[in-house]
Structure formats: C-alpha cells, structure tokens
Chain A
Amino acid sequence: MALSWNIARATSTKASSASMEEARHRTLEFFREACRALPQLMDRYNLDEVITQSQLRSKIAAQFRKHAAVTNPKIVDMLVFKGKEELQYCLDHAKQRHHLISTYVVGSEGQVALKKLGTVDHGESKFLKNFYQSNLF
C-alpha cells in the first residue's frame, strides 16, 4: 500500500500542460526534485564508491537533454511522468544497486565502451569501428 501511495503522490498530475512553457516549467521542477533526492540516493545505494554526486547529476541532466528536441507538451508531460515514476522507484528501494549502476553510472554507452576494452583506437572512422564489431549497422 505504501508503495502505491508513494507512486501516486510522486506521479500525480494536474491536467496536462496547456503550453510548452508550462511543460518546461514542470520539467525544471522535476529536475530540481531529482537533484534534491540525489544525496539520499548516494547514501542508500552506496554510490560514493562508484560515482560522485555531481557526476551523477550530470548523468541525470544528460537524460533530460536527450529529449531536448521534443516540442509537444503532451510528450514532455509523459516523459516527466515516467521520470517521476523512476525516481520514486529509486527512492522506494524498488531498485537494487546494480540497476542504478548499470543505468546511470555506466550507461548504455558505457557498456559498449566496456565491451571494447582492450581494443586499441587507431583513429579509424566510425564506419570501420562498426564494421569490426558486426554486420548489423
């Protein structure tokens, strides 16, 4: 019950944003909320061992920037909604430490980088790098 209550609180929305301005405002508010939650998260998941708080903050900021091109307030609302949901899951400890590490500390690019450990960059083009990896690009 407590869990669902938390999600309901975290994600409850008013009517959808009427304009892009409003959606932007909600986004910034949510970003601040996420930043405020960071010390807690660092503490609960022992993230100090793998990342600093400011690094984690910029990782999260990157998640926001990924969607910078969205112009539809409905979509922004939806993304904020999903972000809030995610944040609440983290705070509720519905996630485990490795979830956070793989998603935010290492990240999808990071996992690719790990796979390439040991290969030397000879300054090939992006095409050649993909070519060495597989035929699927």
Chain B
Amino acid sequence: MAPRCRRYSLPLRRSSTGSAPRRLASPVVDSASICGAGSGVAAAEGSGSRGLHSGVAWYAGIRGQLYEGKGRGKDGSKQVSESYKWSSGMSLGGVRHARTASVAAVGAKFTANPEDCIEVSVDGSNVTIAKGMTVLQACEVAGIDIPRFCYHPRLSIAGNCRMCLVEVEKTPKPVASCALPAMPGMKIKTNTPLVKKAREGVMEFLLINHPLDCPICDQGGECDLQDQSMVYGSDRGRFIEAKRGVVDKNLGPLVKTVMTRCIQCTRCVRFASEIAGVQDLGVLGRGGAEEIGTYVEKLMVSELSGNVIDVCPVGALTAKPSAFTARSWELKSTESIDVSDAVGANIRIDSRGPEVMRILPRLNEEVNEEWISDKARFSYDGLKRQRLNEPMIRNSEGQLEPVSWAKALKTVAEAAHKVNPAEMAAIAGKLSDAESMMALKDLMNRLGCERLWVEGNGENADADLRSNYLVNTTIAGLEYTDACLLVGTELRHEAPLLNHRLRKAVRNSRAKVASIGPELDLHFKCEHLGNSSDALLSIAQGKHPFAQVLSKAKFPSIIVGSGVLQRSDKDAVLAAVQSIVQQANMIRDDWNGYNFLLLNAAQAAGLDLGFVPGARAPVGDKSSIKFLYLMGADDLTPEDIPADAFVVYQGHHGDRSAYRANVILPGVAYSEKEGTYENTEGRTQQTSPAVPTVGDARDDWKIVRALSEFAGVTLPYDTVNGVRARMLAVAPNLFRVDELEPATPLPKESLPESKTKLESLPFKKVVDNFYMTDAISRASKTMAQCTAAFSSS
C-alpha cells in the first residue's frame, strides 16, 4: 500500500507515482476568449463522470468540446503511467494525492488548449498546467497541498499571509506561491528545509497574537490555523510581551466575531466586496493595530453573509446561532439539498442525535459553487419549533384534538366523498417533494378532482412548454451573459445565488443589466427602468435604448420573475417578453437567453408532473370550494378559504393554514425525508434524511397513499420506488437524479397569442421578507432576528 497523503506532512507523496511526465492528450477549446476578463476558463463541469449538458448545444459551444473525465482509477500509481489517458478536463482525481485508491471528491479540473499549457516541475516531477496558473495551483495539480490562509480559490489573490512560501530554483528567497505565476520550466520545491523553516517563521508570527482559545473556540476541530500549527508550529513560544486584544464587531444576528482571533487574512473583506457586493468591511490600522471592521458600526446586509463564516480560516467569524452548541467531530453529516428557494443549493446537514445542529454548503460548481444563502444556512432552528406531531381533528367545540391515524384518515375520506368533485381543490406547498405531489395528483384525479396547483405557480400556470418555465441559460451559464433584462423580479431576494452569478457577469465582463419591476439594490450596477409594464412594452417595440443594448449583445438574456404569473395580463407580459427574446435573438443554437425564474423548490417538479389545474377545472373563484386539501400550503389567507369548506392540512409545521384546518395530518420536513426536487434550471436532485421524524409524523406520499385506501381509490404503489416508477412514466427527468435535463428551446413560430392587453400595472413584490418565506423559516427564531435586524434595509 502506498503511503496515504495526510495534510501538511512534508515528505508527502509519490513513492510510486514516479516522475512520468503528465500531459494533456485531448484539447479543449479555451473559453476565455468569450467569457470576459478575469473569469478565466472556469465553467461548470458535469457532476460525476457523465459528459454533461449533452443536450444543451449552446453550452457545448461555450465550453468548446466537452470530454468525459476519467481521471479516476483503482490505483493511484497507475494514474500517471503513459497508458493513462488524460481527459480534457484533466481530471486530476487520481493523481492529486498519491493514494492507493481513486481520489473521488478532490481533484480539481481545469480546461485549456494544449498549446496554452506549460510544464513545470514540482518536487522533481513534471506537471502540465494551464498557462496563467499560479505556482500554488501548479502544486495543487501535482497533488501537493500547500498550506495557506489568505488564498481562497473563489476570491481574488491577496498574498498577505505568506504561509504558502515555496522555494523556486534560482530565486534568492522563498516566494509566496499563491501570487507568483508559474513559468515554463520552473522548478518548484515544496519540501525543502528552507521552506519548512520559512513557514515555521510565518506561523510563529501568526501565533504571536492568536489567543490560546482552541478549547472554547467554535472553529476548534475544523480550523486551518489549528491544523497547520500542528505541522509548522513550535512547541513553545518566544513571545513574552502581552498579546493584543481587539474589540469584537457586531455583524448582526448571524455572524459572531471574536476579533482577537483574527489573523488578517482579509478573506472576509474580499468576500464582502467581491462576492456579496457590500463594500462595508475593510482593514483598519497598520501593523500591530491592524484590524478588520466596518469603521462606523454597521451590519453586513447581504443574503450571502453567512458564507464569511466558512471563508474565515480561524475562529474569528463563527456562526452565532450555533455558537457553543456542538463540536465538529461529534456531528453526523448528511449530504442533502436545500429547499428554501428554487436554486436547490447543495448542502450538508450536520446533526447530533435527533437534532440538526448546523447546515453548511457543499460544492457544486453548477449550482451554488460553495455558497449558500443565509436562509438556507440558518433557518434550521425552525425545524424544531411549531412542529405538528400527531394527527388531529377539530371537534365540535372548535378545538383540535389528537386522534389516531385511522380516525383522521377516515374523517378526511368521508368528507371528500360528501362533496362534488368540482368543489374540491388541492394545493401543494412550496416545500413539497415530487413524490408526494405525484401521489396527491393521482389521488385527486381518481376522486374526480382536477383543480390542483402548486404554491407560486398559481392557478394559471402553463405547464405545456418546459422551456417556458425554466432558467434555460442555466445557473452557471448566466455568468456568460453580457446584457440582461430583469422583468418583475427582485433577484437578490428571490434567488440570492442567481443574483451572485449575474453579479459575476457584471464584475468580470461588464455585463449591462437593467430591471423592470420593484426597485431593489441588487449589489451590482443595474439600471432601473421603472416598475410598470410600459417600459417593457417600449423595449418590446424597440423604442427603448436598452433594446439596442440587448440586440447588440453577444449573449443577451432575460429573466422573468414568477410574480408575473399572478398578473391578470400574464399572457400579454409573456408575449412582450417573447418579442424581446426574438428581437435580441436570444434563442440560438449556441445560446438560450430566455429564463423564467421560479420562486419555490416545489414549482419546477410540480409543473413537470402536470400538477396544474386540468382543462375542466374551475379557475379563479375560490368561494365554491367545499373540500380543500393543503399539502404544506400556507399562502392562502383565511379569507380566501370559504367558511364552510372542509380543510385538510398535511404538513410539518403548525403554520398559518393549520389554524384553519379541520383535520391535520403530520408530515415530514426536508431534513427528514428522501425527496426528489427539481431546481429552477431543471436539475433533479434528492434530499437525504438526516434526522428522525417528529412524533407520529409520516412521509407525505405515504399519507396520501394511506388516505387513498380509505377513500376507496387505492393508489397502485406501496413503496417509494413504486412512486418513482410512476414519476418515470409522467416526467422521466425526475428519475435522473443529479442531472440537468435541458428544455428543448421554444420554436420561434410558437409565440403565445396574447388574449389580453398589456395593462400598465406595476410589478408586485413577491418576496416581502427574504428571511421568512416558508413554514420553516417563519418558525425560526434566527430568521426572526434577521428580520428585525435587517428590516430597515
């Protein structure tokens, strides 16, 4: 067995990998020419080994040719042999760390033309890297982990911590590898005594003012400084003066600061200005008086602010809600999907026993990179409050009283049979998974009811053409746009991660963005064209100056917010949008710039499954409803529900609608189930159960299945695989987890005929309060604190 590489142990690697030269066999077109300055050749790469986006022609055009990464094999030592065929993506999975085995999750890919590659030598073995990479990146390609504090792969290079010092032949001094571009033929040495001594020196300076807090520090156990000091730190200090103390800053209810621990890596400052787009954080003072702060006391107002906690390499910025609640090594991690918005960020749920202790982002270059929104990260405490834990029936006194499952289901079935199918309706809530929507649709259809819709889609959503309700540019693809029009959407509140992608386009390639809709600072330069459909109309007619911007752009795009669905003149708005799409030639073989942004996690899957009102269903007038089935749907106000209606509430939280319910059937939250969700770009993903269900709750599809038996219309599936088989028949893409199923671009002839006239109504806000949008975040104390702290902004 070859020696396993452990972090920072110096004589690291490569007993058997030898020094066979690594080279690129297959070329990849450099995309740098079309994406703007600074964005480099980065592009989203397929999850796993599948060649991705096979169906998205434009995407392939952008990326050049895509190859399948086959960088993993059984034996690390074989990886570098000549027979090993490099993939374009130059998946470095297998060689990055000389292990006996395939290195799965590590392994960075890069794309470059072979002629744009150079060869450098790292510790005696040659590696091929893309031109323009730094020495640190070259070492990473070679499989050597360079210690670092200030360098972060997703932020700009600061070069101020000096921890990444390496020796380069023919230079008099050690050099900071993160800031030095690699040159052809460079001979880099990472494990010489000089390097070790230099890093030890840096570490000693860093530790001078760092408190000995580790036992009470929340970062303890997963701290870069702690880990690296195990290798480079001395066992005694020579510093006998007093350590400095720094006053803690108030960054709001989410980020706890212990500024004495700060090592001035400035990652948080760069994160704030480059990613979050708030210019509040900065470095004050110099030398021993240097500190990070906001100068005047100011909260950091950003939907992505929680990410500074991850970015911080020490314990200076930690999570306030989970302060002192758990140590990292006692947590069980479950890789899952966030459902707080329609982006479907990849997350990791850390739990201890039956409790969710924290939520962290998980890498997915195509969806969330390595960021998540504050709502995704911190609303988990809502999972413990207001939970429904047993079936209940409202008795004759108007009180809800606990009953057995059999009695509750029997009551519902009897009530359903008492009413005419035309007077029934079912609404799926914003957090519903595809399995339960499938079961509910089957049940209601069997009962003769066709009036069903998903919250957010509303009753007049159009599920006919998939490309009409998806982000066709894809989330990662939005980075390449050079002109974008936002229609009726507050992107920053509706999908913070999508806002971040658009912000990247603005920063990197000076994309021009304009917005028609409610005015909101998106944290990047965005021209506000007013909040009425008049501006939309004048762009559609080509009169507005922004129409020229769009038609001159190489990769123009448009993002329509889902608030448009609630408008009475929805068809006219969409027709105007379509004509803008056509005039600017947004849908081509190599690019699809038409995007419809959904708001909730359940919407895309609901539309794919046809969870929309059937042709014969009555629309609009809710007063005729006599039997209303709410599956976690809380958006209806009590006034919307007729007083004589029989309301069934199936859900996990005693939220708004539970107060109106006649029967309550307790379901499970996303952290407790394996549910399929489709995000707004059409990517199917699955959650994993991390913690047990609460009380006597049951999986949502099981409740519906059980109810069907009482109602005498037993559904033909008993297992979750049975439900998925049914989904496969209805919407095959929901069966292919982790895959993006692109929509066929809209044929140009199929412009929707507008039956209505465009009215000059303002576009309404769809998100009143970013921090409280669903049952979970409404039950969360942290989100309530955020609302209070940030409501002025």
Chain A interfacial positions (CB closer than 8 Å to B):
124-128, 131-132, 135
Contacts and interface: CB of A to CB of B under 8 A. Distances in A.
Ranked nearest first, the 7 interchain pairs of A and B with the lowest CB-CB distance are A127-B718, A131-B706, A135-B698, A135-B693, A128-B709, A128-B706, A132-B405
A132 B406 contact: yes
A117 B68 CA distance: 58
B454 interface: no
Interface in B682-721: 693, 697-699, 702, 705-706, 709, 714, 718
Contact of B698 (A124, A126, A131): A131
A126 B702 CA distance: 13
6 contacts: A125-B714, A127-B705, A127-B706, A135-B668, A135-B693, A135-B698
Nearest to B698: A135
B406 A135 contact: no
Q: Which label, helix, strand, loop or mixed, suits the secondary structure of the B interface?
A: loop
Contacts of A126: 718
Interface of B: 404-406, 668, 693, 697-699, 702, 705-706, 709, 714, 718
Contacts of B699: 135
Contacts, number: 25
B714 A135 contact: no
Given A131-B702, A132-B406, A124 B709 contact: yes
A128 B707 CA distance: 9
Contact of A131 (B405, B668, B693, B714): B405
A132 B705 CA distance: 13
Contacts of B718: 125-127
Given A127-B705, A135-B699, 20 more contacts: A124-B709, A125-B709, A125-B714, A126-B718, A127-B709, A127-B718, A128-B706, A131-B405, A131-B698, A131-B702, A131-B705, A131-B706, A132-B404, A132-B405, A132-B406, A135-B668, A135-B693, A135-B697, A135-B698, A135-B702
Contacts of B693: 135
Contacts of A127: 705-706, 709, 718
Contacts of B697: 135
Contacts of A135: 668, 693, 697-699, 702
A128 B711 CA distance: 13
A135 B390 CA distance: 13
A65 to B, nearest CB: 25
A127 B718 CA distance: 6
Contacts of B709: 124-125, 127-128
B407 to A, nearest CB: 11
Nearest to B672: A135
B493 to A, nearest CB: 35
A9 to B, nearest CB: 41
A6 B694 CA distance: 51
Nearest to B714: A125
Contacts of B698: 131, 135
Contacts of B705: 127, 131
A126 B698 CA distance: 16
B436 to A, nearest CB: 13
A128 B709 CA distance: 8
Nearest to B668: A135
Contacts of B714: 125
Contacts of A125: 709, 714, 718
A128 B718 CA distance: 9
A132 B668 CA distance: 16
A16 to B, nearest CB: 30
Contacts of A132: 404-406
A79 B471 CA distance: 57
A46 B699 CA distance: 46
A128 B705 CA distance: 9
Contacts of A128: 706, 709
A24 B405 CA distance: 48
Contacts of A131: 405, 698, 702, 705-706
B701 to A, nearest CB: 11
Contacts of B404: 132
B405 to A, nearest CB: 6
Nearest to A126: B718
A125 B719 CA distance: 13
A118 to B, nearest CB: 13
Contacts of B706: 127-128, 131
A135 B705 CA distance: 13
A124 B706 CA distance: 10
A130 to B, nearest CB: 9
A37 to B, nearest CB: 41
- Max chain B C-beta neighbours (<10 A), residue from A125, A126, A135: A135
